[in-house]
Amino acid sequence: MQYAQNILFDLDGTLTDPREGITRSIQYALAQLDIHEPDLTRLEHFIGPPLLQCFMQSYDFSEERAWQAVNHYRERFKVTGLYENRVFDGVGELLGMLGAQGRTLYIATSKPSVFAREIARHFDFARHFKVIYGSELDGTRTDKVELIRHLLAEEGLDPADTLMIGDRKHDLIGAQRNGLRAIGVGYGFGSHAELMAESPDWYFATLAELHQAFTR
């Protein structure tokens, strides 16, 4: 991977473990709509995909009702859930090493930019990234294909010199449809089967393996 000058990182499940904040905020949103789910593990599939579509698919919501759920989710997430998060062990060292190698780093997340920037600031890794790209609160660019296309255009990046790293199929699909090579990582929230179904260029089960790949 010596040839990748530009590296795009997904956020949730790739840089941080947002399990508690996201699932508790989903639980809160559902409760406002009189749906009660006491088991947070049953809500982990919400980590990664765009929330609006996930509410529609998981609960057969209309788009209008799904937006109600998203807005309830944000009520809790922007105050509390955003900080119920932790940076994966070793991420700081990895980002520091990549920066020292002269690479340019970006975040590409379907999470709204306003939340992604605050998470990166609060957990002190924003300094490693040139720009943090996310979606808009109205749902614009929650799709990873659209988001990565926008990032490449805004930054003037050559897809052949750019690499995407993520833990869900959406990251790999977004990369491949924009001509980027992609790394799937197994320590996040996408299963091995989900990632391998998208034929990533590389797959690393652990963050230590990912780190090692960039030292060769």
Overall average pLDDT of the 168-177 stretch: 97
Going from the C-alpha of 172 to that of each of 69, 82, 83, 167, 181, the distances in angstroms are: 27, 25, 27, 8, 8
Tell me the backbone φ, ψ of residue 138, rounded to 5 degrees.
Answer: -85, 5
CA dihedral 104, 105, 110, 114 (to 10 degrees): -100
- pLDDT tops 70 at residue 137: yes
Write down the catalytic residue from 10, 12, 143, 171.
10
Give the contacts of 112 (CB within 8 A, at least 6 positions apart): 134, 135, 136, 137
Q: Per-residue b/e over 118-131, b at no fewer than 16 CB within 10 Å?
A: bbbeebebeebbee
pTM over the 0.85 mark: yes
Q: Are 71 and 78 in contact (CB under 8 A)?
A: no
Output the average pLDDT for the chain: 96
pLDDT digits (tens, 9 = 90+) for 60-108: 999 999 999 999 999 999 999 999 999 999 999 999 999 999 999 999 9
pLDDT at 1: 61
Residues in the chain: 216
For position 2, what pLDDT does the model report? 64
Residue 123 is predicted with a pLDDT of: 98
Which pLDDT score is estimated for 142? 94
pLDDT at 216: 75
**C-alpha–C-alpha distance, residues 151 and 141, integer Å:** 10
Active-site residue flag, 201: no
